[in-house]
């Protein structure tokens, strides 16, 4: 595949981006805009999706959120609702590009990015399909599940103290994001051994990230979703984003063209390697689904 570097503006920030063009580029093929979750760098999972999908003839697009890698902004200011706006602005950019504007556009969201691509649809121009991989769709629900009853009470005490300091004194401390967004042991191992080897991955976040994260609640009852096909892919052993989240989305998504692919024996991210059989099988499923539904 050919990588074509570009950039676009989102709320005044210049965001670093790439088109990924198949060897035998066909402008009539749907373009897949792939995004990771809140810390996700474009050169990790979105570029991984592009390596698979361009082999099947799908052009792809990816970018780094404001504050990450070469994009403008401060990583410590990360807020999911602003990342959803970045995706919406990326959609506008791609659909109006002078060279690679597609006939049809697909959004693929990984992890928290699954919720963000759904939210972006409500503030962006029309898209033609959604693919949500290992996502969650209500952070309060997931936090309670991950932390347990006592852990959730302890976290809320910390949150309340920080909010008082923030409101009364205007003070925002910096935190490891995984203190706010806890990881299961398997995902923690993958983050330490794989993701943290990328020099641009990680960093500290402000308390406002916790406020923004706890407000993340996907609402997909808008009529805009009714004609957009949806594929959900989810690890059936996912301890970070529980399988109940995939069931919730399948039950509540209003479109008639929707389906789910269970990644057998898959946790959240330990299998996200180009040569892993689970990753290869899932990407084959995504490619076949796109050829059928878009």
The pLDDT, as a whole number, for residue 130 is 97
Pairing status of strand 129-133 against strand 174-175: unpaired
118: region left, alpha or beta (phi > 0 left; psi from -120 to 50 alpha): alpha
Domains of the chain, CATH where assigned: 2-138+218-293 (3.40.50.1820)
* 148-203 residue pLDDT tens: 999 999 999 999 998 888 888 877 889 998 899 988 888 888 888 888 777 778 78
CB atoms within 10 A of CB 25: 14
Half-sphere exposure of 278 (CA within 13 A, CB side): 19
The pLDDT, as a whole number, for residue 213 is 94
Among the listed ranges 132-136, 156-160, 188-192, 204-208, which one has the minimum average pLDDT value? Answer: 188-192
Q: Which residues of 155-176 are buried (b: 16+ CB within 10 A; e: fewer)?
A: beeeeeebeeebeeeeebeebe
Q: How would residue 14 be classed by pLDDT, with cut points 50, 70 and 90?
A: very high
Q: What are phi and psi of 245, to 5 degrees?
A: -65, -40
pLDDT above 80: residue 125:
no
The pLDDT, as a whole number, for residue 34 is 98
* 212-270 residue pLDDT tens: 999 999 988 888 899 999 999 999 999 999 999 999 999 999 988 999 999 999 999 99
User: What's this model's pTM, rounded to 2 decimal places?
Assistant: 0.94
Beta bridge partners of residue 133, listed in sequence order: 110, 233
The pLDDT, as a whole number, for residue 25 is 94
CB atoms within 10 A of CB 290: 24
With CA atoms as reference, report the closest residue to 104 among 119, 135, 125, 122. 125
% of the chain at pLDDT higher than 70: 100
């Amino acid at each position: 595949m050919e990588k074509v570097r570009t950039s676009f503006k989102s709320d005044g920030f210049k965001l670093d981006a790439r088109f990924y063009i198949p060897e035998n580029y066909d402008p009539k093929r749907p373009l897949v805009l792939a995004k990771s979750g809140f810390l996700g760098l474009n050169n990790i999972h979105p570029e991984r999706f592009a390596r698979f999908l361009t082999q099947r003839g799908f052009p792809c697009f990816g970018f780094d959120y404001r504050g990450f890698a070469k994009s403008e902004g401060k990583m410590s200011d990360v807020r999911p609702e602003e990342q959803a706006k970045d995706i919406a602005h990326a959609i506008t950019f791609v659909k109006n590009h002078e060279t690679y504007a597609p006939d049809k556009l697909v959004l693929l969201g990984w992890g928290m990015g699954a919720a963000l691509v759904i939210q972006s649809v409500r503030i962006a121009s029309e898209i033609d399909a959604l693919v949500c991989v290992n996502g969650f769709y209500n952070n309060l629900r997931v936090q309670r599940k991950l932390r347990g009853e006592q852990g959730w009470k302890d976290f809320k005490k910390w949150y309340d103290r920080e909010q008082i300091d923030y409101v009364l004194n205007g003070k925002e401390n910096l935190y490891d994001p995984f203190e706010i967004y806890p990881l299961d042991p398997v995902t923690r191992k993958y983050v330490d051994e794989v993701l943290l080897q990328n020099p641009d991955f990680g960093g500290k976040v402000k308390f406002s990230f916790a406020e923004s994260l706890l407000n993340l609640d996907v609402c997909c009852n808008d009529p805009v979703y009714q004609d957009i096909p949806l594929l959900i892919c989810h690890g059936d052993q996912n301890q970070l984003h529980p399988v109940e989240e995939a069931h919730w989305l399948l039950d509540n998504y209003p479109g008639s063209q929707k389906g789910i692919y269970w990644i057998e024996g898959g946790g959240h991210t330990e299998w996200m390697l180009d040569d892993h059989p689970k990753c290869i099988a899932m990407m084959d499923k995504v490619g076949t689904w796109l050829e059928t539904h878009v």
